[in-house]
Amino acid sequence: MRSNRTRYVCLVGLLISIGLVLHIVESLIPMSYIVPGAKMGLANIASLLGMVIFGFKVGFLVLFFRIVLGSVIAGTFLSFNFMMSFSGGVLGFLLMGLVYYFASDYFSIIGVSIVGALFHNVGQIFTAMYIISNFGLVYYLPYLALLAIPAGLGIGLTVDFTWNYLFYSPLRGKA
């Protein structure tokens, strides 16, 4: 019994670590010249994988610690960037969870990821509109949505491939 708990804690910590590494790697990729503030969302691989393997609670835990620890490491904790990342991450993850658990007959994991990417941008735009008090930012949303679809597709494909690969692993089904 104790070894299962230890294994569980280690695997969740590993997912948080993977999310942090992907967060740091993503910050080194210059995407701002395409659309300012746009990112690929690589770190969402860890959160979505956590939700698929262990459930909503662990996926949210991975998301929370990845955002908080990533902002502490980057020196942006409680800044505008943190608020944008946190609000977008929470809204995107909540919608991913709703779609994953209540509409899985209609959406694959790739569709779930695209929904999360789209609503991540919606959360960021509404947070920016609230903080800056400029409702004109809503016109920026279609440009972010055009980038969110391929980003969500890539993240979803990565998670789907990883989940299918875990079928042959002792991890699958024993979490």
* pTM (two decimals): 0.81
Residue 19 has pLDDT above 70, yes or no: yes
The burial class, CB within 10 Å (0-12 / 13-18 / 19+), for 77 is middle
- The pLDDT tens digits of the residues spanning 53-104 come to 888 999 999 999 998 988 888 887 888 778 888 998 899 999 999 999 888 8
Coil, helix or strand at residue 174: coil
Residue 2 has pLDDT above 70, yes or no: no
Find the range with the poorest average confidence among 24-28, 29-33, 170-174: 170-174
Amino acid sitting at position 43: A
Cα separation, 128 vs 3, in Å, equals: 45
**pLDDT of 131:** 87
Token pair of 161, please? Answer: 């491939």
Amino acid sitting at position 92: G
Work out the mean pLDDT of the chain and round it to a whole number: 84
**pLDDT of 94:** 93
Cα separation, 137 vs 141, in Å, equals: 7
**pLDDT of 174:** 47
**pLDDT of 65:** 92
Asked if residues 41 and 117 have their Cβ atoms less than 8 Å apart, the reply is yes
Q: What's the number of CA atoms in the CB half-sphere (13 Å) around residue 42?
A: 13
